[in-house]
Amino acid sequence: NSPTAELQALDAAHHMHPFTHGAGLRGKGARVITRAEGCWLTDSDGNRILDGMAGLWCVNIGYGREELAEAAARQMRELPFYNTFFQTTHVPAINLAARLAELAPGDLNHVFFAGSGSEANDTNLRLVRTYWHEKGQPERQVVISRWNAYHGSSVGSGSLGGMKGMHAQGGMPIPGIAHIDQPDWWSAGGDQSPEDFGLAMAKQLEDKILEIGPDKVAAFIAEPVQGAGGVIVPPETYWPEISRIVKEYGILLIADEVICGFGRTGNWFGSQTMGITPDIMTIAKGLSSGYQPIGGSILSGEVARVISDTEFNHGYTYSGHPVACAVALENLRILDEEGIVTRVREDTGPYLKNKFESLADHPLVGEAKIVGMMGSIALTPEKAARAPFAAEAGTVGLITRERCFANNLVMRHVGDRMIISPPLVISKEEIDILIERAWESLDEAHAQLER
């Protein structure tokens, strides 16, 4: 047996993968990734694979940055762990919170740390309910979210999310969560203009608030650009109308920046790109470029003031883990000092947009949409009609993803959409390779379907 086959057999025997049907894996064996540098992964057979997904939308500064390894080692030697419960704190947590307060828009200026995006969204659920409780309106309990949104996998964050497959497995959503549709103009079909469609989707929020009763709604949560739900770039009319509605009914706005944050959309935060003023932002992933598990909630001064009036009975052992904070700080320094966010906005982002949108000329592709460095293409048998495939949703997406993988390109599929979210340091030459391999993989998928 080759070393790879041995690893795959052990993996199949003992390792349960997230979001993976076991039987599907056992047939083939999972690809074993052994090293990574910049935007390139190496597997156990020595193949070099272009990572069009930055891991799971997180390795914003690219792989292999020694500075982050050094920051971790330094912090581990000095203070590998101490908690931030009660009345203790430490330098990495203080400095990271202060830096995030500087970077975050508006008066978002207090950070509650968590170990992941899921934990941070669980925190948010408790935060908004505690906020209204302290404001003397404890009946404001309901948080409105969107179908197909992904806000994490814990029971709370999974309930906030709108993944029906996840809910169908039982116990979710927990009470006090409601959902409206995602503003996916392309998949909706029909003859409404994108502008009218955007307004209609935003109107669903107002209708839902009125249905529940405005005095019972605590918050609305959404990603500025929905990521795992298919990189759904909303029509331009959508966010201004949502902003008007949350203001009119006085409900809190939570922007889930787990994917959109830290340069992904060409600004530090997706809220800035979409012109949103949230009361709370969820952060994770790009905060440390995935080098350490860390997430958090950034709160406005007003939310922090109200919460601070009570004892917020909530926290994680690893809230503000010193090693994760030290690594995140170093990551933010690199993003800033190397001008990576500006480059995405002004240079490599526009270059990628131009190339990526040309994929819409492929016979298998309907729309191609991209903001900064998160983009998706909708696969279709019939462009003009914006038609879905006759086969079960996701079948053609899976075929295309497998063609990409065979061509040493990681692209993800969500149903019959193909997604990219490469490291933000991707060069123009690497963008050319990404687009070439995507086109080639689409050709192969197309030929396979014609057979």
**Residues near ligand PLP, by CB under 6 A:** 56, 116-118, 121, 150-152, 223, 227-228, 256, 258-259, 284, 295
What's the closest the beta carbon of residue 115 comes to ligand PLP, in angstroms? Answer: 8
Q: Of 158 and 235, which has the nearer Cβ to ligand PLP?
A: 158
User: In whole angstroms, what is the distance from residue 428 CA to residue 422 CA?
Assistant: 12
Residue 155: CB minimum distance to ligand PLP, A: 12
Instruction: Enumerate residues 6+ apart whose C-beta is below 8 A from 122.
Output: 114, 152, 154, 156, 157
Of the candidates 169, 186, 167, the one whose C-alpha atom is nearest the C-alpha of residue 177 is 167
User: Residue 442 carries which side chain, given as an amino acid letter?
Assistant: L
Tell me whether residue 180 or residue 258 sits nearer to ligand PLP (CB atom): 258
249/252 Cα distance (integer angstroms): 9
Q: Of the two residues 206 and 223, which places its CB atom closer to ligand PLP in the complex? A: 223
Cβ at position 341, least distance to ligand PLP in Å: 19
Closer to ligand PLP by CB, 49 or 284: give it: 284
147 or 249, CB closer to ligand PLP? 147
Q: CA 394 to CA 399: how far, in whole Å?
A: 9
Question: Minimal distance in Å, beta carbon 437 to ligand PLP?
Answer: 24
Distance of alpha carbon 4 from alpha carbon 47, whole angstroms: 12
Q: Judge contact between 431 and 348, C-beta under 8 A.
A: yes
Min separation Cβ 6 and ligand PLP, Å: 30
Q: Minimum distance from CB of 157 to ligand PLP (Å)?
A: 6
C-beta of 120 vs 425, nearer to ligand PLP = 120
Q: Which residue number, 38 or 115, has a Cβ lying nearer to ligand PLP?
A: 115
Give the C-alpha separation, 179 to 260, whole Å.
21
Q: How far is the CB of 152 from ligand PLP (least distance, A)?
A: 4
What burial class does residue 44 get, using C-beta atoms within 10 Å of its C-beta: 0-12 exposed, 13-18 middle, 19+ buried?
middle
CB of 219 to ligand PLP, least distance (A): 15
User: Is the CB of 324 or the CB of 341 nearer to ligand PLP?
Assistant: 324
What is the DSSP secondary structure assignment for residue 388, as one 8-state letter? P
For the stretch 198-215, what's the b/e string if a residue is b when 16 or more beta carbons lie within 10 angstroms of its beta carbon?
bbbbbebbbebbeeeeee
Least Å distance between CB 151 and ligand PLP? 5
End-to-end CA distance of the chain: 35
φ, ψ dihedrals at 367, nearest 5°: -95, 155
Amino acid in position 218: A
- Shortest reach from residue 193's CB to ligand PLP, in Å: 28
Please work out, in degrees rounded to the nearest 5, the angle formed at the alpha carbon of residue 300 by the alpha carbons of 341 and 151.
65
The rounded distance, in Å, linking the Cα atoms of 299 and 112 is 8
**Toward ligand PLP, which CB reaches closer, 227 or 263?**
227
The residue (of 366 and 372) whose beta carbon lies closer to ligand PLP is 372
Residue whose CB is less far from ligand PLP, 206 or 279: 279
* Closest separation in Å from C-beta 339 to ligand PLP: 25
- The two tokens of residue 22 are 């076991």
| CB 241 within 8 Å of CB 228 | no
Residue with tokens 């994490």: 152
Distance CA 284, CA 144 (A): 21
The H-or-E segment that residue 217 falls in is: strand 217-222
Single-letter code of the amino acid located at 242: I
The upper half-sphere exposure of residue 51, i.e. CA atoms within 13 Å in the direction of its Cβ, equals 25
Give the separation between CA 90 and CA 131, rounded to whole angstroms: 26
Residue whose beta carbon is closest to ligand PLP: 117
